[in-house]
Chains A and B, each alone.
Chain A
């Protein structure tokens, strides 16, 4: 299924001259962090933990700083994704132009939701913010190549062209089998475009210095707390979302362990 057995040390050795050239472009080497991650992702299909550790050593940063930085950017996939990442624009202008119907068609045809990958590892699907092509709604990207003027009727054709190899878009390398989602637990958005209160990207809320506290310390929580009905709903939602997300992650961990 995968392109090859992953051999990170070999890849790192091969890319070393390119890494050096990238770092030499800047007054300060750290500026090369994003280019390095783009480079490794272009070869591995995702930003692997090994690549982040390599970058840390190469740029004299701690691994935590590298992961924190990488996690800030949505185009860095920290887990394997499908061969074709489909990113449909959900921005306002595309929505005025019918994006909701296009997204519904993709979800139906692919049988997956936002931020998910098909079981065969071919497609990953994401609904993304404005792609700066508002004159030709609905627009999308396939592995960052633009497609314009989509309608629910053209969705089948897009998928068929990719499956048939006539889309003109190159597949991404896939050095590891993707899981159900490439979202990471601490990401702020993990299912159906919903967030949990207190989700600040901090992995362990107990160590978040209060940021992850869900008892109402945050000023805006108080506004919600003023309203008994709202409070009940908010707590109910929080618990439901958290357990649903945990279930997906547990399932995925099991899949990985059994792999």
Chain B
């Protein structure tokens, strides 16, 4: 059993909050999860940057050990469970479950070819369940209050609660626990709404890897099915709001640079594609785009998707494509010799 606390998806900060404020909840979820699958060794892989979180969790683990909840013959049941806390060292790709397992084995955090999936052959080739912090944290209230409590909210197909990390151009960014199916507009309102005088431009509803959704989706429910139907995804639950002041060319460059930087380099389309997109977008940022570049951005990004071992490569296209198709004029204005007055 492995708990994935290598949170690094741009816009996501729920695990960071849970780790520093609710370490016991995560640990209890891990213990219950491990007991559920009869695992005798549970790991939590904590992002290297979360030094304080690591220390807090280690302390919580020591308390649990002292209370007899971890170790040999827990509460006289004959069940043994060891818990090991592992620190990462700065690599987004280790949040990919097989990259995480390789890193946990002391290797480069390069994702593995799947299948076999971790549930068949994971850590040290053993069947391994890898779950996110939020999933395991919810295990505790669900077991206490019953599944009926959890399933009582949400939509027909997306049931329960979700922690949404709202950031960007809202007045009160933060983590909000909402029933799935809350509308996009409601989430923006919960987070304090837009700043006075600003108008809505877009939302990236599922972290850096997801495509933007726009005005026409404001009253759509925020759930797995609707976000997928809107051409995006719910992803990590990171909800980044953009108002009318947003420079979408810079935003696209920012995210592409992220993926190019974090590509592990195993798969050529992702390694080279992300890198070249970054270079081309950098030209746009400087107002030096070339004729034909916009088509090239679309062509190169679409030829990365689906050709990689893991989802990082597939994460490169969605945001770029969504804003390029929606706001071609913003990019057009940055093609060399076509600067339009007033465009920053």
Contacts and interface: CB of A to CB of B under 8 A. Distances in A.
A144 B51 contact: yes
Contact of B272 (A91, A130, A201, A220): A220
A92 B240 contact: yes
Nearest to B103: A34
A207 interface: no
B72 interface: no
A96 interface: yes
B91 A93 contact: no
B271 A200 contact: yes
Contacts of B251: 92, 95-96
A120 interface: no
Contact of A93 (B167, B272, B273, B290): B167
Contacts of B48: 73, 75, 144
Interface string A135-157: 11100010011100000000000
B281 to A, nearest CB: 12
A115 interface: no
B315 interface: no
A interface residue count range (under 10 / 10 to 19 / 20 to 34 / 35 or more):
35 or more
Contacts of B173: 93, 134-137
B86 interface: yes
A129 B86 contact: no
Interface string A60-87: 0000000011001111100000000001
A192 B165 CA distance: 30
Given A30-B105, A75-B90, A96 B49 contact: no
B104 A31 contact: yes
Given A75-B89, A91-B10, A92-B208, A197 B174 contact: no
A195 B12 CA distance: 26
B258 interface: yes
A221 to B, nearest CB: 8
Contacts, number: 177
A242 interface: no
Interface residues of B, number: 73
B10 A68 contact: no
Interface string A14-38: 0000000000011110111111011
Contacts of B12: 130, 132, 134
A219 interface: yes
Given A132-B8, A218-B272, A74 B41 contact: no
A255 interface: no
B284 interface: no
Given A31-B106, A92-B10, A219-B272, A130 B258 contact: yes
B84 interface: yes
Nearest to A87: B49
A13 interface: no
Interface in B198-257: 208, 238, 240, 242, 246, 250-251, 254-255, 257
A167 B107 CA distance: 36
B254 A90 contact: yes
Contact of A34 (B51, B87, B124, B260): B87
Contacts of B51: 144-145
A210 B21 CA distance: 49
A144 B61 CA distance: 21
Given A95-B250, A135-B13, A195-B275, A129 B8 contact: yes
B179 interface: no
A197 B105 contact: no
B98 to A, nearest CB: 15
B265 interface: yes
Interface string B162-198: 0001111100011100000000000000000000000
B240 A93 contact: yes
Interface string A227-247: 101100010000000000000
B91 to A, nearest CB: 5
Contacts of A75: 48-49, 88-90
Interface centre among A37, A74, A229 (most CB of B within 10 A): A74
Contacts of B254: 90-92, 95
Contacts of A146: 52
A186 to B, nearest CB: 12
A91 B261 CA distance: 12
A252 interface: no
Contacts of B57: none
Interface of B: 7-13, 15-16, 41, 47-52, 82, 84, 86-92, 103-110, 123-124, 165-169, 173-175, 208, 238, 240, 242, 246, 250-251, 254-255, 257-258, 260-262, 264-265, 268-269, 271-273, 275-276, 278-279, 290, 292, 296, 299-300
